[in-house]
Amino acid sequence: MKALKVLFSGLLLSISMHSLAGGSIDLSLANDSARLAYDATKVGSGLHISASIMHHEDDGDLLALGMHVVDVREPNSPLYIGVGGRLFGFKNGDVDGGALGVGGFFRYQISQVPGLSTAGYAYYAPSVVSFDNTENLADTDLRIQYGLLPTARIYMGYRYSRYKLEGIKKEFMLEEGIHFGLKVDF
């Protein structure tokens, strides 16, 4: 886990040295978990970066740093998508590990209902890109959002985050269930 912290710190420092065009802060809450995320796009490019931390009272913590490319061809499109990867690190009691998940995210503005949109992400890390005793890891989220303001959205979503360790048949669930949140753009 210490190696992952050093790697996260280095990536965050190198990314922060570049000019970013605003960004967003996303806070989601469930009965026994909370997730805080930051997203930004590099000025003049389709490069999108993200960082997040999720804490579950019983099932541990999940850290993630992401880098994606986003579609910048149609700035007024109702569909915003990005593909890339996230570097994950988790800790649950005495168990920790990491993985490089491949996937992406989307947001689709429903034109028939102003302010209403759907959004989500999905990442999967097979054993070939998983570290320590991690066999694989999956992190997904699907939500419906409503824009209260041009720069603030509230949402309700379903999150599924789990990992599997080598040599153990059981899957360890970091989070599965409904959550509510607020995303603010700046």
Structural domain boundaries in the chain: 2-185
Average confidence (pLDDT) per 10 residues, the chain, 186 residues: 51 51 90 95 84 94 95 83 96 90 96 95 97 94 96 97 90 93 95
Q: Which two tokens stand for residue 137?
A: 């890891």
What CATH number labels 2-185? 2.40.160
Give the predicted TM-score (pTM) of the model. 0.87
